[in-house]
Structure formats: C-alpha cells, structure tokens
C-alpha cells in the first residue's frame, strides 16, 4: 500500500457519499440476545473530534491509538483515537481533533495535512456527536503522551484493519454490570471496540474501494 497513492485516493473518496451507518453497524456492540444496546439522553449531544493520523513507519502506513488511563468514567482504560471535546475557540470539530491530538500525544497540529472526514458518529455512551477526521504527516512522529490521560500509545499498521483474522467478538462486562457481545479489532494485542471500532469500520469500507482500484 503506497502512502502517496493512498492519501491521494482518500482526498477524492472522502468527498463522495460515505458508507456511514452501514459500516458502523458491523462493529456495534449488542446485548447477549442479539438486540442492539440503546441509551437515551435528555440533553442535546455535545460535539467532539477525533483524528485518524496517517504516517509512514519503515514504509508501513501506520496510525496512532491511545489507551486511556483508568479513571472513574465511561471510557476508562479503553483504546481510542486521539481526540476530545469541542471548545468554542476551536471554530470547528476538525480543529478540535487537531488540538486534542497535540495535547494527548504531542503531534504539532500545524504539521498535519487534513485529508477529509468520515461520517459524524453519535457516541451514545457519553452523548457526543463526534467528527472523525483523517489527516497525514510526512515524517515519523516522536509521540509525547499526556500522562494524566494517556497510559500507552499504540502504532498499528493500517493494513491490520483490513485483516479479517483481526476482527473478532467477545462477551464483555461494561459499566453498571451490563454484559455485551462486542465486535472488536485485535490491534497490538489490545481490544479496540465500541465507538472507536465503529468509526474505524467505516474507514475499512472506504479502503476496500482503494484495494479494488
């Protein structure tokens, strides 16, 4: 997979209609009965942005994920894309994704070239409407984790997302003791599930178009 060819493809493909919910549902957690797990909220969702940051590592196209620190919250210890909550000074969720990536893993936001965005995604567990942004850098970054938020930084090859053997499912006990059947990506021996897996699932569907060209 050639880095320049892939990023040029993505710049064009992300301007076309996206698979959206069809792709998201492939990795949606379910109740043991097979029924979808639903959460309702009274408040309007807050906005956020996350970044899928592509770069080359020894000719391998790679992207970072973070494992969050353990804390008393919904996403404690989970593996996710760098990103976070929209702030008014950001202007838009793209800027949010860049700023939060800088804060969480130390990538200079001015060096990131934004390629485009995937479909907005509603994270029901935390009541956020998240914009997944795709960007690239033309150098190998030296990540600096924000130790209060980030326990570990993963750098899986992009091709592992397309490897069917890394797409698995397991029963998990989530917050408040709910048992869920959770599809996940097995990346660097970490379980990448939930909202992150669902957003990455859309990227997988987009990349299938690249592989077929």
Q: What's the distance, CA 130 to chain centroid?
A: 10
Domain that holds residue 174: 3-212
All residues at 6 or more sequence positions from 91 whose CB lies less than 8 Å from its CB, including other chains: none
For position 213, what pLDDT does the model report? 54
Q: Is 139 exposed, middle or buried (0-12, 13-18, 19+ CB in 10 A)?
A: exposed
Residue 84, pLDDT > 90, answer yes
Q: Are 132 and 198 in contact (CB under 8 A)?
A: no
Reported as a single tens digit per residue, the pLDDT across 133-183 is 999 999 999 999 999 999 999 999 999 999 999 999 999 887 667 788 999
Prediction pTM value:
0.93
The residue with tokens 């859309």 is 202
Q: Both tokens of residue 112?
A: 């990131």
Reported as a single tens digit per residue, the pLDDT across 2-15 is 999 999 999 999 99
For position 74, what pLDDT does the model report? 61
Name the domain count of the chain: 1
3-state secondary structure of 180: strand
DSSP code for 128: E
Place 125 in a pLDDT band, splitting at 50, 70 and 90: confident
The mean predicted confidence, pLDDT, of the chain is 92
- The CATH number covering residue 139 comes to 3.90.79.10
Q: What are phi and psi of 46, to 5 degrees?
A: -80, 160
Q: How far apart are CA 147 and CA 67, in angstroms?
A: 11
């Amino acid at each position: 997979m050639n880095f320049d060819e892939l990023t040029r493809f993505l710049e064009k493909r992300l301007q076309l209609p996206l698979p959206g919910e069809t792709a998201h549902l492939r990795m949606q957690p379910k109740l043991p009965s097979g029924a979808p797990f639903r959460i309702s909220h009274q408040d309007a969702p807050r906005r956020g942005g996350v970044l899928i940051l592509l770069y080359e590592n020894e000719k391998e196209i790679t992207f970072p994920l973070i494992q969050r620190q353990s804390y008393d919250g919904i996403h404690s210890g989970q593996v996710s894309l760098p990103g976070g909550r929209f702030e008014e000074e950001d202007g838009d969720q793209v800027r949010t994704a860049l700023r939060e990536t800088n804060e969480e893993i130390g990538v200079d936001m001015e060096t990131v070239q934004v390629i485009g965005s995937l479909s907005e995604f509603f994270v029901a567990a935390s009541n956020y409407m998240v914009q997944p942004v795709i960007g690239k850098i033309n150098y190998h970054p030296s990540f600096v984790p924000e130790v209060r938020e980030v326990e570990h930084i993963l750098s899986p090859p992009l091709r592992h997302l397309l490897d069917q053997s890394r797409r698995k499912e397991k029963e998990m006990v989530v917050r408040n003791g709910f048992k869920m059947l959770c599809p996940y990506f097995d990346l660097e021996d970490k379980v990448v599930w939930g909202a992150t897996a669902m957003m990455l699932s859309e990227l997988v569907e987009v990349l299938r178009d690249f592989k077929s060209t």
